């Protein structure tokens, strides 16, 4: 009985298995583009964003992102004046928003099994941050100097030395201060973990948790009687929804 066909078969079997592994890797490389929209909550507000990136291999992703979010000072507590009008945050000098535009990188640290599950990736991104400080305007009571009685109200920009709980009626409409928005350029940095639980390779559903820091110049003083903060740090949780594309799409 000749044994060389059996030996040859045993020698060729590892090559066959290796060929299957390569084929699997090639299949995984079909996805080359990803885009997603996201909504997120932070410990100081929330916002929305968009990402668009490329995946040169199954483990790495390089992307560009843009997002816009509102930053609420932790001391901005809403209350009503004795005029019983609309609530306002006493001492609040401005509403602060951040517009981000930057570059990011993701790396897979836990791959999704073939039968489903969750892919875990860590993510890093950073770039240009533009702070938009919209000043607060108030309805301020006017009193008769003779009788001391309230007669009417005017709309004025909040000044800590001039306005207090005795003459503030309520907050004026937000858009009153839009024309006086102050721009503060700076930078941001964001890092976190991305949990992709999509059911197929061409749709993205993912939750992301992490931390975010903004620093803009000059510093923005959001609350009266508090120093302007040199940086704004918060934690966030985001939901991403999007699509993936292959080589021929």
Among 5-14, 123-132, 173-182, 216-225, whose mean pLDDT is lowest? 5-14
For residue 5, say if its preceding peptide bond is cis, omega within 30 degrees of 0.
no
What is the number of other CB atoms lying within 10 angstroms of the CB of residue 88? 21
CA atoms within 13 A on the CB side of 185: 2
Three-state secondary-structure class, residue 217: coil
Burial class from Cβ neighbours inside 10 Å (0-12, 13-18, 19+) for residue 205 reads: middle
H helical segments located in 65-144: none
Structural domain boundaries of the chain?
A: 32-76+91-135+180-246
Token match 């990402």: residue? 51
**pLDDT one-digit tens code per residue, 55-103:** 988 889 999 999 999 999 988 888 777 666 678 889 999 999 999 999 9
Cα 87–Cα 93–Cα 97 angle in degrees, nearest 5: 95
CA dihedral for 178, 182, 187, 191, sign (positive or negative): negative
Quick check: 168 pLDDT over 60? yes
Position 14 pLDDT exceeds 50: no
Residue 36 tokens read as 């997603």
**Is the pLDDT confidence value at 46 over 90?**
yes
| Rg, the chain, Cα only | 28
SS3 at position 58: coil
Q: What is the pLDDT of residue 151?
A: 73
**pLDDT band for position 15 (cuts 50, 70, 90):** very low
More confident residue, 48 or 247: 48
With CA atoms as reference, report the closest residue to 153 among 135, 171, 136. 171
Residue among 75, 151, 59, 67 nearest 102 (CA): 67
Q: What is the pLDDT of residue 10?
A: 38
Residue indicated by tokens 């490389």: 29
pTM for the structure as a whole: 0.83
Given CATH 2.40.160.20, say whether it is the number of domain 32-76+91-135+180-246.
yes
What phi, psi does 6 have (nearest 5°)? Answer: -70, -45
What whole-number distance in Å separates Cα of residue 222 and Cα of residue 53? 35
Q: Which residue has the higher pLDDT, 15 or 176?
A: 176
Binned at pLDDT 50, 70 and 90, residue 148 comes out as low
Q: What do you get for the CA distance between the two ends of the chain, in Å? A: 55
Q: What rounded mean pLDDT belongs to the chain?
A: 85
DSSP state of 75: T
């Amino acid at each position: 009985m000749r044994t060389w066909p059996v030996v040859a078969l045993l020698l060729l079997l590892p090559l066959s298995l290796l060929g299957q592994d390569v084929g699997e890797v090639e299949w995984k490389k079909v996805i080359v583009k990803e885009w997603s929209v996201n909504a997120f909550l932070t410990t100081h507000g929330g916002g929305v964003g968009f990402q668009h990136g490329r995946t040169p291999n199954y483990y790495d992703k390089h992307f560009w992102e843009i997002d816009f979010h509102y930053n609420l000072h932790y001391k901005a507590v809403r209350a009503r004046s004795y005029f019983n009008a609309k609530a306002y945050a006493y001492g609040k000098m401005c509403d602060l928003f951040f517009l981000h535009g930057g570059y990011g990188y993701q790396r897979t640290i836990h791959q999704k099994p073939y039968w489903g599950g969750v892919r875990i990736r860590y993510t890093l991104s950073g770039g240009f941050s533009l702070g938009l400080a919209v000043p607060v305007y108030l309805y301020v009571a006017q009193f008769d100097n003779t009788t001391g009685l309230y007669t009417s109200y005017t709309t004025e920009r909040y000044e800590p030395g001039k306005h207090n709980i005795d003459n503030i009626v309520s907050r004026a409409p937000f858009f009153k201060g839009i024309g006086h928005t102050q721009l503060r350029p700076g930078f941001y940095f964001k890092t976190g973990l991305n949990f992709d639980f999509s059911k197929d390779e061409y749709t993205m559903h993912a939750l992301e948790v992490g931390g975010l820091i903004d620093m803009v110049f000059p510093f923005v003083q959001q609350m009266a009687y508090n120093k302007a903060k040199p940086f704004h740090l918060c934690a966030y949780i985001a939901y991403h929804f999007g699509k993936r594309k292959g080589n021929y799409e």
